Structure 1
Amino acid sequence: MTATSPTATQPRTVVIYRLGSLGDTLVALPCFHAIERATPGARRVVLTNFPVSAKAAPLEGILGGSGLIDQALAYPVGTRSLKALWTLRKQLRTLGADTLYYLTPARGMAAVWRDILYFKLCGFKHIVGAPSTPALQTWQVVNAQGELEPECARLARSLCADGSVPRIDLHDRSLWDLRLSPTELANADRITSHLDGVPRLVINMGGKVAEKDWGEGNWMALLNGLAHAHPNLGLLVVGAQEDSERARRVTGQWPGPVVDACGRLSPRESAAAMRRASLFIGHDSGPMHLAASVGVPCVGLFGGYNRPVVWHPFGQGHRVIHRMSGVQDIGVNEVLTQALQALADLAETPTAQASRG
């Protein structure tokens, strides 16, 4: 089948290559906005991973309905099947797109050049953002203390390297806009109506990776300390359905209103529900990045799973405790101190809370 060409009634198509989970998608959010601005009127097809037995990609859970993408196409991650790669090549050529935006995390020079060769064979004349040099493969050191740039900055730097996409200002809040719909906002408000009129705290305790689990006992002790200091706070728990049983146990003694939203909200609805929160507390996860995207200050708990700063929530007002020896080595009092200070800071700047409501 031959590739088609755009006509007066058929918009130009571009392809965006982005693999990963919810959190991976969220750190790339400014790049998706930048691509939209660079391709006005274009149809944007994202090439991404689909979990086994899933009808939708994790990326669609974040960007679906935002207008930033129009379609998701499955990429066979890790395949060695020439048949699968040939089938994908035919699908990509059928789109008639000549430009591919490469947003996948750096995986080494051999991998990126293999990707470039494959996508050239798929008919793409322009591949924008591929980290094809050592400088684009690695995170830059940004200060004398050796601190690294966040992954969202490395992605933006790679995407803009050849000048075809204008420089991205990561501090521009409009680039973090999920464009939540009225329906998503209404569904979130309905699920969390028990918290109406009450300042609320959000926690996320779940996670697919055991190394990121802070432990049920620690969460109970933390909430006990927070309840003593702020007994009138509402509590919202977000996560997957399998996190609900732990949420019930951990929040059983909370004195204020509690909403267990685990498994009851889509990722975008979770962001909508969190937008009214005073503070988010949780481990390195998609929900943490969702909270940051809607402007909620975060207390993030990080262990040795990732390098410091690279995957921290982006923006002002976040507090991160990163223990490379493991998240289990983070003390309850450390987290409690940071959470109480964050709540105190917010009380001194009530306009920040009002702007999210």
Structure 2
Amino acid sequence: MKILIYNVNWRGDVLFSAPAIRAIKRFYPGSRITCLVTPRCRDILKSNPDVAHIISFDERRNRSLSEIWAFIRSLKKQSFDMVFLFHRSFSRALMMRLAGIPQRIGYATKRRGFLLTRAVEPPKVPVHKVDYFLGLARACGADASDRFYRFYLESGDESRADELLRAEGIRPDRPLVVINPGGNWTPKRWPPGRYAELARLFVERTGYQVVITGAPKDQALGEEVKLGSAPGVISLCGKTSLGELGGVMRRAQLVVANDTGPMHIAVGVGAPTLALFGPTRPELTGPIGPHAHVLSSRRGMDAIQVEEVFRRAQELLSVARDQRPALRHRSGQATSDRP
């Protein structure tokens, strides 16, 4: 059976879909699963062992009717038996109908129920994104009890991460804390000055090494935090691939981060993680994992104090590292199409 999963557009949400993909694969063990994602989300799933193939389609760049129709024809040629529409939109459901996929499963949102062969009633109350995606797997009879999402590293990711750390003077025999101060939405960010103060406390009171991580767009932010902290703190903002970022976080005794994609990468590789939440609701988008912890304030990120975060971090650091789950790598990687 050939199954297509039309995924969503944000990296964190795509990672949230991993338990549903796993449940679908287990329910249809002989199936070949293809995931359709935007190019920026491809790296989230490229090493996932439940995904055989990845198709990247950028709807922002391929917006003309001729480009969309060409893409639909390309899907039709692949003769998928079933599609799960994790995306809520009407247009995606219409595209799958036009692609001639016989079984089309999705939530009955945006008045698109008539385009689906199995229109699932959406949750009546807000649920965590993981559970939202699992609901579609459950609707087909799959076991939806495993809610943990995992980010799979390729075989070379950790060794390249080690090389990056060594090049910056980070010693493998000393404990490491990673902080990730970035985020796509300013109200979700803890102030950079407080991250700098937190890094200084780690260095001066515990002797831990501190590494700042982030995307290329976070380079100035990383330098700001670094300069305001203490000697020896380094920034890897913009210097890692997504897999290398996971490798760096895997090496850490603790990751402290805002509600953002890299925080979920840390959880996905099994790193002890302290996630800071302000205006967003952790019960809907928070981390799910045996070593994931949340510190939140409904009054906003400014209400979270440095000493409070440091105290909670020390409590988590007291937990032995060997209690973390073993990390699994994928042997090989998914193939990819880039129309």
- Give the TM-score taking structure 1 as reference length: 0.77
How many Å separate the matches in 2 of 1:226 and 1:323? Answer: 22
Amino acid at match of 1:126: Q
The residue correspondences of 1:255-270 to structure 2 (distance < 5 A) are 257-270=232-245
Relative to structure 1, the CA distance from residue 38 to residue 356 in structure 2 (aligned partners, 3 Å threshold; closer, same or farther) is: closer
Q: 2:157 aligned to 166, 184, 205, which one?
A: 184
Gaps in structure 1 of 5+ consecutive residues? 1-11, 50-56, 141-147
Report if the CA contact (8 A) 1:276-1:356 is conserved: no
How far the C-alpha of 1:27 sits from its partner, in A, is 1.1
Relative to structure 1, the CA distance from residue 324 to residue 78 in structure 2 (aligned partners, 3 Å threshold; closer, same or farther) is: farther
How many Å separate the matches in 1 of 2:10 and 2:171? Answer: 29
Report if the CA contact (8 A) 1:15-1:99 is conserved: yes
Report if the CA contact (8 A) 2:35-2:55 is conserved: yes
Pick 1 or 2: higher relative contact order, CA cutoff 8 A, min separation 6. Answer: 2
1:234 equivalent to 2:209? Answer yes
Q: Secondary structure at the match of 2:284?
A: coil
Report if the CA contact (8 A) 1:136-1:154 is conserved: no
How many Å separate the matches in 1 of 2:305 and 2:262? Answer: 22
Tell me the residue number matched to 1:144. Answer: none
Report if the CA contact (8 A) 1:278-1:353 is conserved: no
Tell me the residue number matched to 1:59. Answer: 41
Amino acid at match of 1:291: A
User: Can you list the C-alpha shifts for 1:218-248, whole angstroms capped at 9, x where unaligned?
Assistant: 2122223333331x21112211123233323
How far the C-alpha of 1:170 sits from its partner, in A, is 2.3
Tell me the residue number matched to 2:200. Answer: 224
How many Å separate the matches in 2 of 1:43 and 1:149? Answer: 29
1:95 equivalent to 2:83? Answer no
Tell me the residue number matched to 1:132. Answer: 108
How many Å separate the matches in 2 of 1:309 and 1:195? Answer: 37
Report if the CA contact (8 A) 1:233-1:256 is conserved: no
Q: Secondary structure at the match of 2:139?
A: coil
1:330 equivalent to 2:300? Answer no
Gaps in structure 2 of 5+ consecutive residues? 110-118, 329-339
How many Å separate the matches in 2 of 1:62 and 1:248? Answer: 26
1:123 equivalent to 2:123? Answer no
Report if the CA contact (8 A) 2:249-2:266 is conserved: yes
How many Å separate the matches in 2 of 1:234 and 1:225? Answer: 11
How many Å separate the matches in 1 of 2:124 and 2:164? Answer: 40
Relative to structure 1, the CA distance from residue 183 to residue 78 in structure 2 (aligned partners, 3 Å threshold; closer, same or farther) is: closer
Tell me the residue number matched to 2:281. Answer: 307
Amino acid at match of 1:198: R
Amino acid at match of 2:102: K
Amino acid at match of 1:161: A
Report if the CA contact (8 A) 2:82-2:102 is conserved: yes
Amino acid at match of 2:153: L
How far the C-alpha of 1:66 sits from its partner, in A, is 3.5
How far the C-alpha of 1:162 sits from its partner, in A, is 2.5
Amino acid at match of 2:311: T
Report if the CA contact (8 A) 1:139-1:150 is conserved: no
Relative to structure 1, the CA distance from residue 356 to residue 255 in structure 2 (aligned partners, 3 Å threshold; closer, same or farther) is: farther
Report if the CA contact (8 A) 1:14-1:100 is conserved: yes
Q: Aligned-pair RMSD on alpha carbons? A: 2.9
How far the C-alpha of 1:320 sits from its partner, in A, is 1.6
Report if the CA contact (8 A) 1:45-1:69 is conserved: yes
How many Å separate the matches in 1 of 2:62 and 2:327? Answer: 44
Relative to structure 1, the CA distance from residue 335 to residue 82 in structure 2 (aligned partners, 3 Å threshold; closer, same or farther) is: same
Q: Secondary structure at the match of 1:192?
A: helix
Amino acid at match of 1:315: G
Report if the CA contact (8 A) 2:3-2:83 is conserved: yes
Q: Secondary structure at the match of 1:214?
A: coil
1:274 equivalent to 2:237? Answer no
